[in-house]
Chain A
């Protein structure tokens, strides 16, 4: 399985851009990178997924360098409601279907 490493916690303020980086040094050729958001006592919710370069949707952007050994989730202009835990998953290839979560990054947005 491709292991991932994320910062345990981050702090930000309303209106700022937040970038959360995930390291996945042993990512396999067929692996995709997926990010989830989780609020207390709720199940995680899909944010964004990518394979290489940049992916953008209505809530976030995902930047993946050419070597794919890391990825960065970018949240533009965060609000208090973005306070949550963010998980990076690497899946596919040899870990196909066995979707395991790391400890995630606790993001706290301050007024």
Chain B
């Protein structure tokens, strides 16, 4: 089983619908991240969380919200999806206690979202 699991893996929805992408991890890491990737582009940080009580905006948080329900779970929501949110979304984790402290990122397999 994957250490970082994303659901759903693929989703097609319509403009205006609310969508939630879920991420769960079994690595015991305290830090979790949501990124989006558009064709031919690098990854852009949407939100990140250092622990259950900590949520931070990334580069492109507008139109998104997140919830850290537990240390192992970090959900990304699109309150009212629009076509330009069509992208591949990745969840990642890292361990703040690693040495060196910057830590290695561990990624999920991605969630491909299409907004029509």
Contacts and interface: CB of A to CB of B under 8 A. Distances in A.
A49 B41 CA distance: 23
Interface stretch (B13-21, B68-76, B79-87, B88-96): B88-96
B102 A41 contact: no
B90 to A, nearest CB: 5
A71 B107 CA distance: 24
Interface of A, helix, strand, loop or mixed by DSSP: loop
Main secondary structure of the interface of B (DSSP, over half): strand
B115 to A, nearest CB: 18
Given A43-B109, A51-B100, A100 B45 contact: yes
A49 B110 CA distance: 24
Interface stretch (A11-19, A61-69, A90-98): A90-98
A2 to B, nearest CB: 12
Kindly state the interface size class of chain B when it binds its partner.
Answer: 20 to 34
A32, A85, A91, A100 — most chain B CB neighbours (10 Å): A100
Interface of A: 32, 34, 36, 41-46, 49, 51, 85, 87, 91-92, 96-104
Interface of B: 4, 31, 33, 35, 41-45, 48, 50, 56, 58-59, 88, 90, 92, 94, 96, 100-102, 104-110, 112
Given A43-B107, A46-B104, 13 more contacts: A34-B104, A36-B105, A41-B110, A42-B109, A43-B92, A49-B100, A87-B42, A97-B31, A97-B96, A98-B48, A99-B105, A101-B43, A104-B42
